[in-house]
Structure 1
Amino acid sequence: MQWSLATLILLSCLTSRIDAQEPPAHFSPAERGYWFILNKPYLIPDFDNDTFENLWQSWPEAERNRLEMLPLDLRREEIFSYYGLTNRPSERSEKPLQYVVNNNGQYFMNCFSCHGGEVAGWVIPGLPNSNYALQTLTDDVRTTKLRIGKPLSSRDLSSIFFPMGGTNGTTNAVMFGVALESYRDHDMNILSFRSPPRMIHHDMEPPPWWHFKKRKYLYIDGFVEKDYRALIPFVLIRENDRAQLDEWESDFKDIYAYLESIEAPKYPFEINADLARAGELVFHKNCVECHGTYGDSPTYPQRTIPIEVIGTDPVRLQALSREHRANYGKSWLSHYGARKIIENPEGYVAPPLDGIWASAPYFHNGSVPTLEGVLSLEKRPEVWKKESQKYDTEAVGVTFSAYDRTPVEVTAPAERRRYFDTSKPGKSNSGHDYPNTLSSADKKALLEYLKTL
């Protein structure tokens, strides 16, 4: 089953009226999977509604003064925007897409925190959340709880030492998985003690979920054969023992079915058809070997490009040790070796390009704000800041301001996270320089064709 955005919106309207602990019996596996993400918590609560409504009091003074004058509903909208949260598509509730909210007003992070965002005025489940300010939200939650007398959770404490993400829209998600898996044996039983794993903290742009059905192997380095258990590492907190994982296993089979059902969103703006046809010729001559073909008979080679050839930032490839990959391959997560594991991948997998217009910024680390920058190295800013939700139809991607460096007067950590600095470790925008061989006319035509995918 494949879903259009209209189907997702209809389902969202339905789930907004559901108050049960399990999805309706008539739901398909994919429908159940979507329901589970929205309504069933798999982690401990991050905060409650009282904490959420007081977060703004941790903001800079000028912002606090402005919000103090706003009515509660408008203040809530400002809080959503500040942290990169969105409403649920066509759902009449105050619950953000990115969190499960139970009847007691507790908020539990869900998969849409990173994989549900907004582009061109649309809120799209499965879209990379390029606005998510996870580190800022985490810091402000801890500060707010201390101020209003709420107890701190284990996550509030661990995040003091463990970075959540250095730039808004990207997170340290890969290292979350490494840390959580390291304190489990091969059967996923919790170990009382083990030496900390090697940690190379770095930020990643989440991939769009509509690519999931095309892949046979997961992650940017393609080291894990696709399987529903590969979705489970991010819920391996100590509060979830092996018995809990067994209880939830059928849920993750349904979530897997939901991911398999997602379709790429279609470009909503005008396309120059003649220019796009010319761009299709350029694409087929230069790009299909790595990125596949599109249309009525699509193909996808899932080709791994050696790191010395692709030339993009190598930190993600270096961050996972061979030992970590091998342990994964021996564990319950890979069905004790029944699913193939690549212990020493050579580089990064060239992604499918369906819906590429929607998934800015680009590269695995989110370092390039527009498709124009992907095709033209001179269009890649050294430091950039997203300026609005307005979509750039000419450059195809984020509306941004460019800088030589992060302004020295910007000292507050929350504000500095709004700037993407490509000079920092793991954030390079270099590589993928194949378009250098194309003429300006070919690049313009190719850019137009990419809108059609």
Structure 2
Amino acid sequence: MCRGEAAVPRAEQADRGLELLLSKAYLPADFDQEVFDDLWTTWEMPLRSRAERAPVEQRRRMAMERYGLVPHPRDPSRSMQYVVDAEGRWVMSCLACHQGQVRGTAIPGVPNTSYALETLTEEVRLVKVQQRKAFSHMDVGSLLLPLGTTNGTTNAVIFGVALMRHRNPDLSIVQRPPRFDLVHHDMDAPAWWHYSRRKSLYADGFAPKGHRILMQFLLVKENGPEKFQEWEDDFRGIESWIESLEPPPWTGGIDLGLADRGRAVFAEHCGSCHGTHGPDGVYPDRIVPIEEVGTDRVRLDSLTAQERGQLNDSWFGHYGSDAVGMKDRESPTGYVAPSLDGIWASAPYFHNGSVPTLWHVLHPGERPTVWRRTPSGYDDARVGLEVEELAEMPPGRLRSSDRRTFFDTRKTGKSAAGHDFPDALTEDEKTVVLEYLKTL
């Protein structure tokens, strides 16, 4: 049994894990309260004019809405995504990508599909220049490494590759020049309530599952190997909280007759990859070959077996003296078919977040070329994000913050093609499957 687990009940570990995410800083600060409170000065008109006239608390709410931040349950003027210390310094946590809202309500572990990380960082830099404050690691790093080209998705996989480049297997720091040949691509964060069912992590299933792997994004130069050892027990608690999460139930009406018919269609056409659900459900954790699923392959091709192996052969892939055997997963042939528990709440869909609703998943030929979500709207009929669909990007030169509100499926790594299996279904079968998916 791991250190710390014998004396602490699982539920208590989970509660402690959530509290750590909300209150303990593991990274250097990105900005301070003074910077956050002046972000409105960088906004476009007429939003900037509205913010200028607004009281401070309203201005903070406007900022959180702009950047996709969720109000903290104990202090709505703060964000759940950042730990704010006594000096007013804001430090990013894992919840930045893994705590969002659906229909304006925070759901534990739901992906933050509104997070405007690149826009936030750009505008933080502008304010810091005005205030003559030093740039943080995020401010500097984002000049070399794109953070995300569409709100709600991030270049997280390449963050990990870039950070590991400067570490030995024992996580001691080694100086190497940055790489400029990385294949940048955006990913949609997974729903954390799937964690307990997974046998491995990431879209291609190459990484070992465990508390250590959750720590890899702490690899800034300020955190030497001793910090990871010091914080390991913290992340046992954080993992316990993640494993405790349950999929949220659908909050609307369900036609149980249609859903029951959909269950049979799903079992016949979808269950071999996505598994079965309910108390006796079985999840196969199956990698579907890319030639079979046909979804965007940039994520699959962006990592080499050597890069996957560097992570697995490091401290992150070992627990005490026991190595996790993942060698057969370091050259994956496709993507892991996810469990679909709580699928209604985790839009958009596919590993790159390219498909806005389950209706579009079930209708491959109707997927929009370009789409933009409404600020917090939810499409109950099509089950997913409420979106504006376009054939092209708007004409003219867009402000970068506006451009990132659009998802253009023609861009590298953003294709919505593939997973054409629903083409084998009749329209009636698609309708009943959609109703069934609400029950998961």
Q: TM-score of the superposition, structure 1-length normalised?
A: 0.92
Counterpart in the other structure of 1:19: none
Name which of 195, 210, 227 aligns with 1:212: 195
- Are 1:331 and 1:337, in contact at CA under 8 Å, matched by a contact in 2? no
**Aligned ranges for residues 229-308 of structure 1 at < 5 Å?**
229-308=212-291
Counterpart in the other structure of 1:339: 324
The Cα of 1:372 is off from its aligned counterpart by: 0.2
- Are 2:61 and 2:77, in contact at CA under 8 Å, matched by a contact in 1? no
The Cα of 1:423 is off from its aligned counterpart by: 0.2
Name which of 292, 300, 303 aligns with 1:317: 300
CA offset digits 1:386-410 (Å, max 9, x no partner): 1231211100011111111110135
2:98 pairs with 1:111: no
The Cα of 1:122 is off from its aligned counterpart by: 1.3
Q: Distance in 1 between the 2:429 and 2:176 partners?
A: 58
Q: Distance in 1 between the 2:30 and 2:75 partners?
A: 23
**Aligned ranges for residues 111-260 of structure 1 at < 5 Å?**
111-193=94-176, 196=179, 198-260=181-243
Residues 198 and 279 from structure 1, CA distance in 2 versus in 1: closer, same or farther, beyond 3 angstroms?
A: same
Counterpart in the other structure of 1:384: 371
Q: Distance in 1 between the 2:425 and 2:438 partners?
A: 18
The Cα of 1:104 is off from its aligned counterpart by: 0.8
Question: Percent identical across equivalent pairs?
Answer: 45
Q: Distance in 2 between the 1:379 and 1:111 partners?
A: 34
Counterpart in the other structure of 2:83: 100
SS in 1 for 2:46: helix
Amino acid at match of 1:166: T
- Are 2:293 and 2:419, in contact at CA under 8 Å, matched by a contact in 1? yes
The Cα of 1:88 is off from its aligned counterpart by: 2.7
2:407 pairs with 1:424: no
- Are 2:96 and 2:112, in contact at CA under 8 Å, matched by a contact in 1? yes
Name which of 11, 27, 33 aligns with 1:49: 33
Amino acid at match of 1:346: T
The Cα of 1:66 is off from its aligned counterpart by: 1.6
Amino acid at match of 1:304: I
CA offset digits 1:159-181 (Å, max 9, x no partner): 11210000000000001100001
Counterpart in the other structure of 2:63: 79
SS in 2 for 1:159: helix
- Are 1:224 and 1:340, in contact at CA under 8 Å, matched by a contact in 2? no
Q: Distance in 2 between the 1:164 and 1:155 partners?
A: 9
Amino acid at match of 1:339: V
Counterpart in the other structure of 1:66: 50
Q: Distance in 1 between the 2:136 and 2:103 partners?
A: 36
The Cα of 1:197 is off from its aligned counterpart by: 7.3
SS in 2 for 1:160: helix
Counterpart in the other structure of 1:12: none
Q: Distance in 1 between the 2:280 and 2:361 partners?
A: 26
The Cα of 1:379 is off from its aligned counterpart by: 2.4
Name which of 342, 352, 363 aligns with 1:365: 352
CA offset digits 1:120-139 (Å, max 9, x no partner): 23111311111000000010
Q: Distance in 1 between the 2:76 and 2:269 partners?
A: 47
The Cα of 1:300 is off from its aligned counterpart by: 0.1
The Cα of 1:92 is off from its aligned counterpart by: 3.9
The Cα of 1:195 is off from its aligned counterpart by: 6.0
SS in 2 for 1:385: strand
Q: Distance in 1 between the 2:75 and 2:117 partners?
A: 25
Counterpart in the other structure of 2:422: 435
- Are 1:182 and 1:197, in contact at CA under 8 Å, matched by a contact in 2? no
Moved more, 321-330 or 376-385: 321-330
- Are 1:329 and 1:337, in contact at CA under 8 Å, matched by a contact in 2? no
SS in 1 for 2:149: coil
- Are 2:208 and 2:312, in contact at CA under 8 Å, matched by a contact in 1? no
The Cα of 1:296 is off from its aligned counterpart by: 2.4
| Structure 1 residue runs without a partner (length 5+) | 1-24
- Are 1:45 and 1:106, in contact at CA under 8 Å, matched by a contact in 2? yes
Q: Distance in 1 between the 2:208 and 2:52 partners?
A: 51
Q: Distance in 2 between the 1:152 and 1:267 partners?
A: 43
Counterpart in the other structure of 1:3: none
Moved more, 74-83 or 92-101: 92-101
Q: Distance in 2 between the 1:410 and 1:34 partners?
A: 42
Q: Distance in 2 between the 1:49 and 1:383 partners?
A: 36
Q: Distance in 2 between the 1:388 and 1:151 partners?
A: 32
Would you say how many aligned residue pairs link Structure 1 and Structure 2?
428
- Are 2:343 and 2:437, in contact at CA under 8 Å, matched by a contact in 1? yes
